[in-house]
Chain A
C-alpha cells in the first residue's frame, strides 16, 4: 500500500503556475479545439453546433485518408530505419576504429540540420532534372532513372530516405553511449567462449540496449506525428496526395482554406489516435510499477 502523504501548502503554491499552464494552456486549448470541431466554424470560431458533420466530411476527404495512410507508412519505416541504421553505425564505431570522433561528428551532423534544410537538400538531389539523375546521365548513362520525389508511387519513400538520413545519427549516439556502458568483462567472456562478433551484438549487446533504443524510438515517434516541415520543403504533399500528412492537412485548412471546423476535427482525430497508441504502454508501465510497489 502506498503511504498517504499530507500535501505541503508551500509546495502546492510553488506548483500553482505549472498547474495553471498545464490546465489552461494544454487542456484548455485542447478542449477549445475539440469544441470547435463540432461547430461550423470557417475563418472565425462560431458557436453553431453541427454535430459530427465535420468528422463525416473529414473521413469522406480523399486527402485526409491518404494523409493517414502516408503518415503510417512514413512513421513505421522512418522509426525502424533510423533504429536499424543508427544501431549499425554505433556498432561500427564501437569497434575501436581510427578517427572515431570525426566519424561520430559526421554521422551526427545531419541531426543538427532542420527538417526544412534536410528536405530541400534531398529535393534537389532527387529532382530528375537537377540532381543525381541528371548528373549520372550527363556522365553517359542515358537511361538512369532516380525520380523519387516526382514519382507518385515513390515520393513517400523519398521522405523516408531523407528522414532516416537525418535521424539515424541521433540513434547512433544514444546506442553508442549505451554500448560504452556495457562492461568489458562480458566481451572477454564471450571471446573465450568463441562466439562470433555479430552474435555478441545481436544476442548480448542488443538486449542490454533495450531502454536506450526505446527512448530513441519514442523521440522519433513523437516527431512522426508532427511531420510537417520536411514534407513542405520536399514535396509539399505532392505529386497528388502521395505525400500528404495529417499535420499539413490541418495547417492548410486552418490558415489557407479558412476551415477551422475541419482542421480542429482533424486535430482531434490525431490526438485520439496518439492517445489510443500510447495508453496501453502507459497502462502497462503503471501496472508494473504497482506490482513492484506491492512486492
Chain B
C-alpha cells in the first residue's frame, strides 16, 4: 500500500505540473476544518484575515462535524489529493499520517519563531515527531470545567462553590429539592468520557492520571482510583433528567442559560453558547474546575500540513504556520473560540475570568492532556464504550468494571 500511496502521490505531482501556473503567483491554501459553528467560524476568520493580509489566498473546505471532516480528509489523502491544511488535535491522532510520510514538517518556521521557548514543553513535545515539528497549535481548551447557573444556585440556596464532592452532591440535593434539574447531562459517549476523565483527575492527581493513560499502569493505586471515579460517576445518574440520553452539549448548556438546570460538566467551548445568549461569566454563570481537582484536562487543536506536491501550497503552509503562532492572532483567535492561547507570552488582560483561570493552570503546567492526545483512536473508541456501558448499564459493580477498564489498552 505504501508503494501504491507513493504512486498516487507521484500522480498528484504530475497533475500539479500540468496545472496552470496560476498558483505560483500567490501562496494558495485549501484548508479543511470542522469549525463551522458561530464562534468557531469567527475564530477561523481571524486566521484567514491575517493570512490574506500577508498575501495568501484562502480556500475554505470546512465540513460540519469532527467525524465527517475526518472521513473526508482520509478519503482525500488516499485519493492523493490532500488539502493544504487540516484542523486536528495534537498528539497520537496525527502520528499515523506522519509515520507514513504524508505530512510536511514545519521545522524551519518553528525554529525561526522560537516556538520551543514560547510553548509549554509538553505541548512542544506533542507537536513534534522524531524530533521535528509538524503541527502548528492554534489553541487549547480546558475540559475540567463545571459551569453553573447563578440563578439556579440562588433559588436552591447554594451560596458557595462546592470544594469537595460531598459538598457538591449536597448541593445537587438542594437543587433537586428546589425543583431544578440538578445536572444538565449530555448523554453522548464523548461527553460522558470527558466527565469520567475530570473526575478521574480529581481522584488520582496529575501523576496518577498520566500513569494510567501514558504508562498504562495497572497497580493497586490505579485500580483504586478508577473505582473511586466510577463511584462518583455512577452517583450522578440519580441527578439527571429523562431526556439526558443522546443530548447535545449545547442543548445542555441551554438548560443552564434558562436556569432549568443547575450545573453542566463541559469543556470551555460552552462559554461560546453563554456569550451568544448574552450571559456573562462571573455574573450570570459561574465556572469552576471540578471539586478536588489539582489541575485541568485539556485538548489542543492544531493545523496539520499534508504534502501536496505543489510548491505554492508548501509556501502557503509555512506562511499559515507563522500566522497561527503570531502572539496577537493567538489571543484574538482564543477570544472568539473560547479557548486558551498556546503561547505563554501573550497579553492576558483581554481574556475573561474563566480563560484566565485556565491560562494560569496551563502556564503552571498543572494540566494533563485529553485521551484523544494520549491514546490511539482505537483506544479512544474503546474508552468511550467502557464509560458509556457503565453509565447506561446502570451497574454499580465498580470492582469488575475497574478490571475491564484496563482491557482498553490491550
Contact = CB atoms under 8 A, between A and B. Distances in A.
Contacts of A69: none
B388 interface: yes
A152 B392 contact: yes
A147 B242 CA distance: 8
Interface string A232-262: 0001101111100000000011011111001
B1 A238 contact: no
A45 interface: yes
Interface string A104-138: 00000000000000000001000111100100000
B67 A259 contact: no
B193 to A, nearest CB: 13
Nearest to A251: B71
A213 interface: no
A94 B388 CA distance: 49
Given A240-B392, A256-B67, A257-B381, A150 B245 contact: yes
B380 to A, nearest CB: 7
Contacts of A186: none
Contacts of A44: 1, 5, 78, 96, 100
Contacts of A235: 245-246
B377 A238 contact: no
B385 A129 contact: no
Contacts of A236: 188, 246
A73 B74 CA distance: 34
Interface in B359-381: 376-378, 380-381
B244 A150 contact: yes
Interface string A94-106: 0000000000000
B97 A238 contact: no
Interface residues on B, range: 20 to 34
B238 interface: no
A42 interface: yes
Interface in B84-112: 96-97, 100
B246 A238 contact: yes
B381 A256 contact: yes
Contact of B67 (A62, A130, A255): A255
Nearest to A62: B389
A242 B245 CA distance: 12
Nearest to A150: B245
Name the prevailing secondary structure of the B interface residues.
Answer: helix
Interface residues on A, range: 20 to 34
A46 interface: yes
B71 A47 contact: no
Contact of A150 (B1, B243, B381, B389): B243
A62 B393 CA distance: 13
Nearest to A253: B381
A193 to B, nearest CB: 56
A234 to B, nearest CB: 9
B245 A255 contact: no
Interface in B381-396: 381, 385, 388-389, 391-394
A72 interface: no
A149 interface: yes
A237 B10 CA distance: 41
Contacts of B392: 152, 238-240, 242
Interface string A122-164: 0100011110010000000000000101101000000000000
Nearest to A134: B243
Interface of B: 1, 5, 67, 70-71, 74, 78, 96-97, 100, 187-189, 241-246, 376-378, 380-381, 385, 388-389, 391-394
19 contacts: A42-B376, A42-B377, A43-B96, A43-B377, A44-B1, A47-B1, A129-B242, A130-B243, A152-B392, A238-B245, A238-B388, A239-B246, A240-B393, A241-B389, A255-B71, A255-B74, A257-B378, A257-B380, A258-B376
Interface of A: 42-47, 62-63, 123, 127-130, 133, 147, 149-150, 152, 235-236, 238-242, 252-253, 255-259, 262
Given A149-B246, A150-B245, A238-B189, 15 more contacts: A44-B78, A45-B1, A123-B246, A127-B243, A130-B243, A147-B242, A150-B246, A235-B246, A236-B246, A252-B381, A256-B377, A257-B377, A258-B377, A258-B378, A259-B377
